[in-house]
């Protein structure tokens, strides 16, 4: 299949029409109209085969995830997504693959009203880069540098499921064989969290005006909160017992394994954020209004770094603190 036939196929599936797209796929550049009185939030993220997704990941899930991880970055800024670019590097022009990929991308794009307005298509080892653009009211973006001592720390959803799904797949992991004996629907629920993360866009929007700092959990809770602590010049104390776990995680893992997955696993795409006491009730009310919720997991403290505490307030050391590509 020729390059332009692939691009046509992608456009047919993904170029959702938006009134603010003046020129979409098909010219040298896209032309879009900014809504008056807003700032633009821009983010990009790449998924590389074997690094960001396991071999055998379905093309449909890959299309979804490539957009989801980017929308998660906009969610963490409190932005409303609008436009996306897609740079696809494919080993060959496989029509079936591109159809499925575009189908998964389009499914999530439609849920968030995102129009694909351009991209690039090249041949090489499978890799996907998506760039997203969204709007925020001036000065209203949620950042990493605003946490204050005394703020409460929250996280949306549950943690550790995606990392647990990866463990189920790891053939070198002695526990994997035992995990494979788990009921199929339990394993599938974990796998769904890995393959189809749900970007918390509505939650991110609801947090504007309440959260002092926010980040999406992609590399692992402790590692990502470390960026908030460093950016804000504070420390963060997390109570291990408060970390939210899904029923699947609770059934399959003992407390020690579970904690490692929740605190350091990564790929959760939940939002971790800080809220001053005075704003906690408002935040909870507005999150509930958009059908979301959050669990309080700790406090911002004076000092630096992120500490994980047991029931007695003693620091817990984990073997791996989070994901680092170059470590
Ligand atoms: P140029 O050679 O001018 O850079 P291309 O041939 O790369 O143009 O792309 C032609 C048009 O198709 C452009 O509008 C570009 O944005 C779009 N496009 C190319 N690849 C993709 C893709 N994977 N997804 C979406 N749009 C794409
Ligand atoms: Mg080009």
Q: Are 137 and 77 in contact (CB under 8 A)?
A: no
Six-digit token string for 7: 């691009």
Tell the residue nearest (CA) to atom 9 of ligand 1. 120
| Cα atoms in the 13 Å half-sphere on the side-chain side of 36 | 0
Ligand at shortest distance from the CA of 27: 1
Whether 26 lines ligand 1, by a CB cut-off of 6 Å, is yes
Query: Would you say residue 327 has pLDDT above 60?
Result: no
Distance 133 CA to ligand 2 centre (A): 19
Query: Would you say residue 182 has pLDDT above 80?
Result: no
Query: Would you say residue 235 has pLDDT above 90?
Result: yes
Question: 70, 121, 129: which to mutate for ligand 1, most atoms within 8 A of CB?
Answer: 121
Provide the pLDDT confidence category of residue 179 given band limits of 50, 70 and 90: confident
Residue 324: its pLDDT value, please? 61
| Cα atoms in the 13 Å half-sphere on the side-chain side of 170 | 11
Q: What does the alpha-carbon distance between residue 91 and residue 86 come to, in Å, rounded to a whole number?
A: 16
Distance 119 CA to ligand 2 centre (A): 7
Q: What does the alpha-carbon distance between residue 111 and residue 101 come to, in Å, rounded to a whole number?
A: 16
Q: What does the alpha-carbon distance between residue 265 and residue 242 come to, in Å, rounded to a whole number?
A: 16
Tell the residue nearest (CA) to atom 4 of ligand 1. 28
Q: What does the alpha-carbon distance between residue 305 and residue 245 come to, in Å, rounded to a whole number?
A: 24
Average pLDDT of span 195-212: 98
Residue 326: its pLDDT value, please? 60
Q: Are 276 and 150 in contact (CB under 8 A)?
A: yes
Cβ atoms within 10 Å, residue 66: 26
Residue 322: its pLDDT value, please? 61
Whether 12 lines ligand 1, by a CB cut-off of 6 Å, is no
Mapping DSSP to helix (H, G, I), strand (E, B) and coil, where does residue 323 land? coil
Question: 46, 119, 122, 131: which to mutate for ligand 1, most atoms within 8 A of CB?
Answer: 119
Residues paired with residue 106 on neighbouring β-strands, in sequence order: none
Query: Would you say residue 85 has pLDDT above 90?
Result: yes
pLDDT tens-digit map of 87-109? 999 999 899 999 999 999 999 99
* Percentage of residues in the chain having pLDDT higher than 70: 95
Whether 25 lines ligand 1, by a CB cut-off of 6 Å, is yes
Q: Which residue did the predictor score with more confidence, 211 or 188?
A: 211
Tell the residue nearest (CA) to atom 24 of ligand 1. 119
The bridge status of strand 235-239 relative to strand 294-301 is: antiparallel
Residue 320: its pLDDT value, please? 64
**Angle at Cα 241 formed by Cα 256 and Cα 71, nearest 5°?**
90
In angstroms, what CA-CA distances link 164 with 6, 172, 256? 35, 14, 13
Question: How would you list the strands of the sheet with 39-48, edge to edge?
Answer: 39-48, 127-136, 80-90, 115-123
Count of residues making up the chain: 327
Provide the pLDDT confidence category of residue 16 given band limits of 50, 70 and 90: confident
Mean pLDDT of the residues in the chain: 93
Residue 167: its pLDDT value, please? 86
pLDDT tens-digit map of 22-51? 999 999 999 999 999 999 999 999 999 988
Q: Give the distance from CA 77 to its chain's centroid.
A: 12
């Amino acid at each position: 299949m020729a390059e332009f036939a692939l691009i046509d196929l992608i456009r047919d599936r993904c170029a959702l029409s938006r009134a603010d797209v003046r020129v979409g796929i098909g010219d040298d550049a896209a032309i879009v109209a900014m809504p008056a009185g807003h700032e633009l939030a821009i983010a990009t993220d790449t998924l590389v085969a074997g690094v960001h997704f396991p071999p055998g990941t379905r093309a449909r899930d890959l299309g979804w995830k490539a957009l989801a991880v980017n929308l998660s970055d906009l969610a963490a800024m409190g932005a409303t997504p609008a436009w996306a670019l897609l740079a696809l590097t494919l080993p060959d022009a496989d029509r079936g693959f591109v159809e499925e990929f575009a189908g998964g991308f389009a499914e999530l794009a439609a849920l968030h009203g995102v129009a694909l307005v351009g991209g690039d298509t090249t041949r090489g080892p499978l890799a996907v880069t998506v760039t997203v653009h969204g709007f925020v009211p001036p000065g209203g973006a949620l950042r990493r540098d605003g946490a204050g001592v005394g703020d409460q720390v929250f996280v949306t959803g549950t943690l550790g499921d995606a990392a647990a799904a990866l463990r189920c797949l790891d053939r070198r992991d002695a526990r994997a064989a035992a995990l494979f004996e788990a009921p199929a629907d339990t394993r599938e629920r974990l796998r769904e969290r890995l393959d189809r993360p749900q970007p918390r866009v509505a939650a991110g929007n609801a947090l504007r005006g309440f959260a002092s700092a926010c980040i999406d959990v992609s590399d692992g809770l402790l590692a990502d909160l470390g960026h908030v602590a460093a950016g804000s010049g504070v420390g963060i104390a997390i109570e291990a017992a408060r970390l939210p776990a899904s029923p699947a995680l609770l059934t399959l893992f003992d407390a020690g394994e579970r904690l490692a997955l929740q605190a350091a696993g990564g790929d959760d795409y939940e939002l971790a954020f800080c809220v001053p006491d005075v704003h906690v009730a408002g935040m909870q009310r507005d999150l509930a209004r958009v059908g979301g919720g959050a669990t309080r997991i700790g406090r911002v403290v004076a000092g630096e770094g992120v500490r994980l505490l047991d029931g007695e307030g003693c620091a817990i050391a984990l073997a791996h603190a989070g994901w680092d590509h170059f470590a």
